[in-house]
A and B are shown apart, each in its own frame.
Chain A
Amino acid sequence: MTLFIQQLFDGLALGGVYCLAAIGLTLIFGVLRIPNLAHGTLYMLGAYVTYFFLVTVGVPYVAAIGLAAVVLAVIGVLLERVVFHPLRNAPHTHHMIAAVGAMFFFQAVAQAIWGADFRRMDSPISGSVTILGAQISWQRIVIVVTAVIVLGLLTWFIKRSIHGQTIEAIEQDRTGSSLVGISPSRVSMLTFGLAAALATVAAGLVAPINLLAPTMGDALSLKVFAIIILGGLGSLPGAIVGGFTLALAEVMTSTYVSAAAGEGIAFAVIVLVLAIRPTGLFARAVQR
């Protein structure tokens, strides 16, 4: 039972991280209809920029994540302007090639600045608490709580604020939105900025329990694609449900079946979803 509780909390923390990263990816897909293969590297850059503010500059942990999110939002906007905007009328393969190019570029930049060796980022939140016999570290509790708060704010932003609503409008009908005066170009920039900022929050939260390396985004990149396929491409609730589902499935499978099965579960999920329900759990993805 203790083991179950322990794994439940670990799974929830992991789910929070997955969600934050997956939402950005699903938003970009909803608005621009492109699979942003460089999303994992934005997450990696987010972790390094947080590290920079926290360790090199010396600002407090939460402020470091906030500042890094702002920096990454700017990088996200630039990525959209410089790479994806010029390709807006090009065939889809071009986006993918461009995204892979951006991925290698960001990795090389990170390696040039911070080197190839692992970095450790200590968070000020240390210690752990015993819940029903399980040792849960405060950092994991912070991850879950922060993820819930950020998800709440994001839902409010998209459903209630003018700028957020433009994202949803573009997702639903690009031409119609343009006709009523919404600029698709501005919404694209906003989406990329938001996605990069969310990935940074995820990275800033998880970095203290793991290590920083220029390749840290690779594994996450695959997992978040599995999540948005599971949830339905472009669907916000899909990304949230998918994130927690996949994380819990991963943790529980590796606890009660085997570690190898846990690593493979994400891919089993992709195959199953594509075979049984190709549109995902929340079939929002509109065919253009």
Chain B
Amino acid sequence: MAPMRIRPGATVTAAVCAGVLLATSACGGGGGSGSDTIVIGYSGPLSGGAAAYGKNIQDGLQLAIDELNNQGVTVDGEQYRVELRSLDDQYAPDAAATNAQRLAEQDDAAVVFIPHAGGIQAAQELNSSRTEFLLGAYSSDPKIVEQGNELTMMIPPSFESYAEPFVDKLTRNGESRLGLLGTASEYGQEWTKLVTQEWKSRGGQVLSDNSIDYGTVSDFAGPVSRTLAENPDVIFLGGPSQPTAVIIEEARRQGYEGSFLLMDQAKFEEMEEFTDPKNLNDAIGVKPVRNYDDPGTEDLLDAYAEKVTKKRPVTSEVALNYQSAAIVVAAMEQAGSIDDPTAIREAIPDAIGEVGEQFHVSGFPTEITDAGHLRNQDLEAAYRTPDGEYEYLPIEQPDE
């Protein structure tokens, strides 16, 4: 039996044809957001080093959307189903911008969520020019609202508001030596700078900067012993919760008894799962979601355990995005439009008061600033006392 001979040229042609066919059918499918569907776009890291973070935000948005669909969404007298479309950008700014444009143009998403400052800034170049979309910006970097972009909604509190009260609390007994063990990411460096300034402005002494890349260091013992060798009273650190917990454990193991000042990326509730919670005593950071007693907190914790996982706690990444998805859809209802980003943005101030109580989970926003920052007037931070109890302290937010 003679083998069938196929010209290589023919194979290539066939492959190209198949490819084109696939691509066109994919476009057709992608663009098919029916008239009764509201598409919410999301571009975040779903693979690679930051995938867990990207997944948390995606889960928060999806849980809100499920709940909204349960209740029914009516815009301008018509019933809609809300749908989340996610694309992976692996934390790359240019990929995030491309994804956002694709979501806005092909999927007719009027709102696109992006959870990293680089991607947000790249998308801000686009969202008010040819393709209009409202940007759900999940990053505590204040730069994203300083740009004057009119279609940006900044979701978390600005990290600048934390430095002062954190330093206040940890210097009440005359502590003066601050060790730096932050993460080497751009965001981590911004924090390091901020805390350094705040510390120095009180006349405290800032020791050598031992920032390391939490993702690539194989053994944290070295950087920890370097930091401890200078006898700090307080150590600033924080990156993703899990490596932060390991570093804290290492510091306690090496005999450190001072306090920790935690950057907002690290969450108490996640760290408690990774190290003996006793190690976290005498530390200040973001208030754990489960410690809020807002009307919807319990339900979100239950829904997360049931639909996502029982193994991980609900963090503010899940909770804040859960809240903001509800705000966006309420704004669509207020504006009577599902596809006009400007109208939706303008309706947010009124929409905030209209969102159902079950979406109030962790300090629901009380206002949106003119620059587009969702804010809660009663923002609190958490201090874990040397006895392992949580105390809350109010955070003043800067004017924008």
Contacts and interface: CB of A to CB of B under 8 A. Distances in A.
Interface string A3-42: 1001100110110010000000000000000000000000
Contact of A115 (B49, B52, B184, B222): B52
Interface in A168-209: 206, 209
Contact of A259 (B47, B209, B219): B209
Interface in B154-206: 184
A135 B220 contact: no
Contacts of A107: 47
B324 interface: no
B207 to A, nearest CB: 12
B278 interface: no
A14 to B, nearest CB: 5
Interface stretch (B21-29, B74-82, B210-218, B257-265): B210-218
Contact of A213 (B49, B274, B312): B49
Given A120-B274, A259-B223, A215 B210 contact: no
A275 B248 CA distance: 41
Contacts of A11: 222
Interface in B276-296: none
B226 interface: yes
A13 B312 CA distance: 32
A34 B55 CA distance: 36
B218 A210 contact: yes
Interface in A215-257: 215, 218-220, 251, 254-255
Contacts of B34: none
Contacts of B84: none
Nearest to B255: A135
B226 A135 contact: no
Nearest to A214: B51
A258 B208 contact: yes
Contacts of B369: none
Contact of A209 (B221, B226, B254): B221
A120 B274 CA distance: 7
A3 B226 contact: yes
Contact of B243 (A118, A220, A254): A118
Contact of B216 (A120, A206, A263): A263
Contacts, number: 103
Given A128-B253, A259-B211, A259-B212, A10 B221 contact: yes
Contacts of A137: 221, 253
B51 A116 contact: yes
Interface string B220-244: 1111011001000000000010110
Contacts of A260: 184, 211
Interface string B31-52: 0000000000000001111011
A14 B218 contact: yes
B40 to A, nearest CB: 22
How many A residues are at the interface, by size bracket?
35 or more
A223 to B, nearest CB: 8
A20 to B, nearest CB: 12
A258 B180 CA distance: 12
B218 A219 contact: yes
A108 interface: yes
Contacts of B243: 118, 210-211
B240 A118 contact: yes
B246 interface: yes
Contact of B225 (A10, A117, A211, A215): A10
A161 interface: no
Chain A interface main SS type: helix
B223 A254 contact: yes
Contacts of B212: 259, 263
Nearest to A140: B221
B222 A10 contact: yes
B162 to A, nearest CB: 23
A116 B220 CA distance: 21
A111 interface: yes
Contacts of B274: 118, 120
A251 B225 CA distance: 11
A21 to B, nearest CB: 10
A19 to B, nearest CB: 13
Contacts of B209: 258-259
B52 A210 contact: no
A76 B216 CA distance: 24
A218 B51 contact: no
Interface in A104-136: 107-108, 111, 115-118, 120, 128, 134-135
Interface of B: 46-49, 51-52, 54-55, 184, 208-213, 215-223, 225-226, 229, 240, 242-243, 246, 253-255, 274, 312
Interface of A: 2-3, 6-7, 10-11, 13-14, 17, 107-108, 111, 115-118, 120, 128, 134-135, 137, 140, 206, 209-211, 213-215, 218-220, 251, 254-255, 258-260, 263
Given A3-B225, A116-B54, A214-B51, 15 more contacts: A3-B229, A10-B222, A10-B225, A13-B219, A14-B222, A111-B51, A116-B51, A120-B274, A135-B255, A209-B246, A210-B243, A215-B215, A218-B216, A260-B184, A263-B212
Question: Which 8 pairs, one residue from A and one from B, show the smallest C-beta to C-beta distance?
Answer: A116-B51, A219-B216, A118-B242, A117-B52, A215-B49, A116-B52, A10-B222, A6-B225
16 contacts: A2-B229, A6-B221, A6-B225, A107-B47, A111-B47, A115-B55, A118-B240, A118-B242, A134-B225, A206-B219, A209-B220, A210-B246, A213-B215, A219-B216, A259-B184, A259-B212
